[in-house]
Amino acid sequence: MMLICDSSTLILLAKVELLDYLLDDYPGTIAVPEAVEHECLVPPLRPDGILIRERIRAHHIVVKVLQDAATANRLIKDFNLGVGEAEALALALEQRADLVAIDDRNGIRACKLLQFKFTTAIGILIHLRERGRLTIDDANRGLEWLAIYGRYHCTILEDAQSRLDKDI
């Protein structure tokens, strides 16, 4: 099983202290293309970047080289994506990834059109809570932080809160 992460989701998870929960919970390989690694680790290195760098060094996150840059370039043009999002989706195609973690609106649209199974940082938070990996207090705190750091529409946040409020 392989999960390909985009930089926005990886950074959000690190900022709200959920990255290690995901790394402990996911049963397969978590990978990123080189462009995502670069976007996460650009100077000046913030605390979230330091955490991501350490998880890459410990091989909890695997950096993979994209074999076909032309695919990423087509995705950039076709879906108006940034380089990181395009490389993440191109890598997902190459690796036949089971899941893509992406929070970029255009990237999500591309996933839908390409018929990729995808999730977001909020989706990961809810999944971790449903699996009992987070307490309700930790999940609520994570959602509060995602509301601050993410660019989520209020209806997405309200839906996530209602899902967390349900007795799991």
The residue extents of the domains of the chain are 2-121
Please say whether the beta carbons of 144 and 35 come within 8 A.
Answer: no
For domain 2-121, the CATH architecture is 3-Layer(aba) Sandwich (3.40)
pLDDT digit string (tens) for 32-72? 999 999 999 987 789 999 999 999 999 999 999 999 999 99
First to last CA, the chain: 26
Q: Are strands 62-64 and 99-101 parallel, antiparallel or unpaired?
A: unpaired
pTM of the model: 0.94
DSSP H or E run through 76? helix 69-79
pLDDT at 11 over 70: yes
